[in-house]
Structure 1
Amino acid sequence: MSAVAGETTQPCPECGTEIRGDSRFAAWCAACDWNVDPNEPRPETGRLERAERALARRHGEQLLGEMLSGREPRPRRDASAVTATALALTVHGVTLALAAGGVWCVVVGRGGAGMVAGLVLLVLAWALAPRVSQLPDDRPVLLRPDAPELFALVDEVARTVGTRSVHAIAVDGSINAGVTTYGVRGRRLLVLGMPLWEVLTPAERIALLGHELAHYANGDTRNGLVVGTALRTLSLWHHTLQPISHPSAIEMAVNALYVMPRLLVRGVLALLVRLTSRAGTRAEYLADRLAARTASTQAAVGLMDRLLITGPLGLLLRSEANRAALGGARSAREARARADELWDLLTAYAASVPDHEYERQRRAGARRGHQVDATHPPTHLRRACLLAGEPVAAAVMPQERRTERIAAELAAARTEVARRLLRDGFGD
């Protein structure tokens, strides 16, 4: 994919209106929407993902209506939240019961079959127990002494949205960002995808930080200790019980044995997703609102638009990784220079995307219900919610000196991530 624009002109086959476009993107007609969505969306794999995405769309439309009517849906402990918490505690109770049963069998069994059964139960409980995440070792991780200016900005954003700041920041090659916890004390980790960070303006970066940190401030039960870990545990169970592909005779028997437990786990997981879907969708809208109040409505809307071009950005990264692979081995100096060139190319490409392509992406996204992932409401609904009412000014303003110092603090991680992208390739 080229970063160089080439202007094109043609009549619309449907209505005859003159179409002025860019050779890098699909030609389409703004008058009649001809060819506005030429690419079929990728099929969604998995029944659970399809159901989760459908719930996010439905609740997204319902909650948008509430927010546009002035009834901002604040977090609340409704019947669904209480039921979800009870169900999550039951899931954790099953794991605890397996562990207790295993200990009892080992103590009382005194060898023989009882000991074997106890060990099996203990191994099963250990395998299915919620895991305490650790700091990632497969990507650059920054602590406060490594990036004081970046942490100062994150701290300021956290105070603005009304929550605690993070303890560490991981940088990777995804076109995304997120927050999670690590360690037994539940320390907070912010994950910044460098390709997304690079193409955002300083104000849009503040909006991104505001949105992610807002998940800790708005009662998002899916990020909570009880429900969040239960969802991860059920997902682990569901993955563990998946049928073995191309099974042998013994593996066919194992697959048959897994059928009922798998259906039970899938049902419980689907129920927990349904119970938390509305709260999760509400949390996304509220996070967008807090992002706008932190960085301004204009910056939050700009962030939404950038999320619409993650597909083309990913294609560009894959193209550059393929070119690097065909180029063969390079010296350390050449590899570093090529890594820095990658970000220059990516930011230049993002800056050159014309307004009519963003408009096409918005219309196509509205048609197909584009979502960042299965848990987010459709992007066009999030954008409409941000644009409703009077624009909000920024509470945290970008500062040129701070932006430069943050760039210097991220320089080493920036180069390392680019080198990994060029060496290992970009994957969704």
Structure 2
Amino acid sequence: MPTVVGGTTQPCPECGARIHADDRFTVWCAACDWNVDPKGHQQEREKEEERGRRGKRAGRDRLEEARRALARRYGERLHTEMAQEGAGPRARWDGATTLGYAIALAVHGVTAALLAAGVFCLVWGWGGGLVLLGAVLLAMAVALRPRLPGPSDDDGTVLRRADAPELYALVDEVARAVGTRGVDRITVGKEINASVVSQGVRGRRALSLGLPLWEVLSPQQRVALLGHELGHYGNGDTRRGVVVATALRSLTVWRYYFTPIARPTVGEMLVNAVCAVPLLLVQGVLSLLDHLTLRATQRGEYLADREAARAGSTEAAAALMDQLLMTESIDVFLRREVSNAALTGARSARRAAGASADTQDAGGGLWTRLAAHIASVPEHEYERQRRAGARRGHSVDATHPPTHLRRACLLAGPPSRAAVLLDDDRSGRITAELAGARAEVARRIVRDGMG
């Protein structure tokens, strides 16, 4: 990487064009894309060095890499299809989705068969040798049962409806705008993300807001974020359904139980050998189910983006995509804050100064500095991130289409006006409701870091 000169211009070493230099960001050339993605080049070199040292990547790494490549291909194809044909209100039910549901039902059928066999052995073999077998089969059925996400206070600071009525009212309004219902529970944490999941048998919805992302968004971008997460429940996303979601979790549990024991004893080597074939079978079924449902999930992401535009406006939804490209910058900034606090003894000083000073600084100072940092990012850095993301295939995770394609899909159609407006007064009231949670999450970041 070149030496960066703050606030100046310099010639591009490749094409000679004048380029802007800012000591906070990577220097690059918009004319020829010189140095547009230095991290991508570094990652490629590291991969080559790793292959040279190990001869081949670990199996789990290869699967994840192949999964991301498949997600990128699906994202590109779906972007083309949706741009040419438009999209219906729900994800399509096709052959892959049908087969995926059949496999998911078969997974649950195996668990049901274990349960039935265990009960049979206990009832008909009572007093004989079948009792032990029945107990083992029942234990397996319980261990491998379909699991629905349950509530956990460890996920973040919980906000009840009475604690944050304005925030809950906003979520309810966005939910109505995208054609679904609101949430039953809101937690805020330190993740640079947001999500809505259905928990328990009753399907109670829980919204998780990562404050590092929430705090850098404009009011309308926050509406778009909520519209995207809630929009998943109105578009028929396969993996949001109970059948497929619980089957994927069950298979993941099965894989965990069959995973070979590291550094085994002689007896454990025999266990590893016995588990090798079931592990391959489970991994194969898990990969197949993931493959069959990935396309529908990708379409669901595009459709959820459209709901985000409907709720917050196309402009806000597209700007949200830009902010997703900055998540690494947010993470770096927060880690730097943690390091600075440790080096200067700021945490000890705040504890000595008393709880009120600690709450004021942690709740406001960290988030104010983060928001100011992201607000100061110039347009040329956003453009570099867009181009680098397009080259690298940046996506939120392996189930999401590439971010640059999501943004392009939003901007391809006619612009949508916001169905929900979040003005400064209402936004201020929501911020006031979050004051305690902002202070608590900031303290946890400074105390525990971002890991």
Bin for the TM-score computed over the shorter chain = over 0.9
Mapping of residues 202-213 of structure 1, within 5 Å? 202-213=219-230
- Between the aligned partners of 1:242 and 1:36, the Cα distance in structure 2 is 41
Match of residue 104, structure 1, among 96, 103, 120: 120
CA RMSD of aligned residues (A): 1.8
Say whether 1:398 aligns with 2:436: no
Residue identity (%): 60
- Between the aligned partners of 1:370 and 1:422, the Cα distance in structure 2 is 28
- Supply the AA of the counterpart residue of 2:79: L
Match of residue 358, structure 2, among 322, 335, 347: 335
**Corresponding residue of 1:50:** 65
> Between Structure 1 and Structure 2, how many residues are aligned?
423
**Deviation string for 1:377-402 (max 9, x for gaps)?**
00010011011032211111112221
- Between the aligned partners of 2:140 and 2:336, the Cα distance in structure 1 is 44
Say whether 1:192 aligns with 2:215: no
- Supply the AA of the counterpart residue of 1:199: V
**Deviation string for 1:247-266 (max 9, x for gaps)?**
22222222222211111111
- Between the aligned partners of 1:12 and 1:267, the Cα distance in structure 2 is 49
- Between the aligned partners of 2:415 and 2:164, the Cα distance in structure 1 is 32
**Deviation string for 1:225-274 (max 9, x for gaps)?**
11111111112222332222222222222222221111111111111111
With 66-75 and 203-212 compared, the bigger mean Cα shift is at 66-75
**Deviation string for 1:24-48 (max 9, x for gaps)?**
2111111110000001348695344
- Between the aligned partners of 2:126 and 2:28, the Cα distance in structure 1 is 76
Say whether 1:381 aligns with 2:381: no
Judge conservation of contact 1:207–1:300 (CA < 8 Å) in 2: yes
With 41-50 and 411-420 compared, the bigger mean Cα shift is at 41-50
- Between the aligned partners of 1:195 and 1:240, the Cα distance in structure 2 is 35
- Between the aligned partners of 2:257 and 2:61, the Cα distance in structure 1 is 15
Judge conservation of contact 1:320–1:422 (CA < 8 Å) in 2: yes
- Between the aligned partners of 1:358 and 1:83, the Cα distance in structure 2 is 41
Instruction: Report the Cα offset of residue 376 of structure 1.
Output: 0.3
**Corresponding residue of 1:310:** 327
- Supply the AA of the counterpart residue of 2:115: A
Instruction: Summarize the Cα distance change of 1:109–1:6 in structure 2 as closer, same or farther, 3 Å threshold.
Output: farther
With 81-90 and 300-309 compared, the bigger mean Cα shift is at 81-90
Mapping of residues 344-363 of structure 1, within 5 Å? 344-363=368-387
Say whether 1:163 aligns with 2:187: no
Instruction: Report the Cα offset of residue 286 of structure 1.
Output: 0.5
Query: Which runs of no fewer than 5 residues in structure 1 stay unpaired?
Result: none
- Supply the AA of the counterpart residue of 2:358: A
- Between the aligned partners of 1:420 and 1:106, the Cα distance in structure 2 is 50
Instruction: Report the Cα offset of residue 323 of structure 1.
Output: 2.8
Mapping of residues 139-154 of structure 1, within 5 Å? 139-154=156-171
- Between the aligned partners of 2:233 and 2:219, the Cα distance in structure 1 is 22
- Between the aligned partners of 2:432 and 2:6, the Cα distance in structure 1 is 34
With 322-331 and 202-211 compared, the bigger mean Cα shift is at 322-331
Instruction: Report the Cα offset of residue 9 of structure 1.
Output: 2.9
- Between the aligned partners of 1:410 and 1:371, the Cα distance in structure 2 is 29
Q: SS at 1:20's partner residue?
A: strand
**Deviation string for 1:118-162 (max 9, x for gaps)?**
222222211111223322211211221111111111111111100
Match of residue 272, structure 2, among 242, 252, 255: 255
Mapping of residues 237-316 of structure 1, within 5 Å? 237-316=254-333
- Supply the AA of the counterpart residue of 2:325: L
Q: SS at 1:69's partner residue?
A: helix
- Between the aligned partners of 1:322 and 1:120, the Cα distance in structure 2 is 51
- Between the aligned partners of 2:66 and 2:388, the Cα distance in structure 1 is 21
Match of residue 235, structure 1, among 245, 249, 252: 252
- Supply the AA of the counterpart residue of 2:233: Y
Q: SS at 2:195's partner residue?
A: strand
**Corresponding residue of 1:63:** 78
With 110-119 and 273-282 compared, the bigger mean Cα shift is at 110-119
Instruction: Report the Cα offset of residue 299 of structure 1.
Output: 0.1
**Deviation string for 1:318-343 (max 9, x for gaps)?**
22223333425341345324423111
- Between the aligned partners of 1:239 and 1:51, the Cα distance in structure 2 is 21
- Between the aligned partners of 1:207 and 1:253, the Cα distance in structure 2 is 54
**Corresponding residue of 1:127:** 143
Judge conservation of contact 2:148–2:246 (CA < 8 Å) in 1: no
- Supply the AA of the counterpart residue of 2:124: V
- Between the aligned partners of 2:268 and 2:362, the Cα distance in structure 1 is 46
Query: Which runs of no fewer than 5 residues in structure 2 stay unpaired?
Result: 48-56
With 248-257 and 285-294 compared, the bigger mean Cα shift is at 248-257
- Between the aligned partners of 1:187 and 1:389, the Cα distance in structure 2 is 34
- Supply the AA of the counterpart residue of 2:194: A
- Between the aligned partners of 1:201 and 1:6, the Cα distance in structure 2 is 28
**Corresponding residue of 1:84:** 100
- Between the aligned partners of 1:72 and 1:175, the Cα distance in structure 2 is 29
Match of residue 111, structure 2, among 95, 110, 118: 95
With 404-413 and 325-334 compared, the bigger mean Cα shift is at 325-334
- Supply the AA of the counterpart residue of 1:406: I
Say whether 1:29 aligns with 2:52: no
Match of residue 181, structure 1, among 198, 206, 213: 198
Match of residue 431, structure 2, among 377, 386, 407: 407
- Supply the AA of the counterpart residue of 1:226: V
- Between the aligned partners of 2:7 and 2:272, the Cα distance in structure 1 is 57
Structure 1's consecutive aligned runs of 4 or more residues displaced over 4 angstroms after TM superposition are 41-45
Question: TM-score normalised to the size of structure 2?
Answer: 0.90
Instruction: Report the Cα offset of residue 111 of structure 1.
Output: 4.4
**Deviation string for 1:87-145 (max 9, x for gaps)?**
11111111111122222222233346422222222222111112233222112112211
Judge conservation of contact 1:64–1:385 (CA < 8 Å) in 2: yes
Q: SS at 2:409's partner residue?
A: helix
Judge conservation of contact 2:228–2:308 (CA < 8 Å) in 1: yes
Instruction: Summarize the Cα distance change of 1:15–1:166 in structure 2 as closer, same or farther, 3 Å threshold.
Output: same
Judge conservation of contact 1:324–1:423 (CA < 8 Å) in 2: no
With 45-54 and 260-269 compared, the bigger mean Cα shift is at 45-54
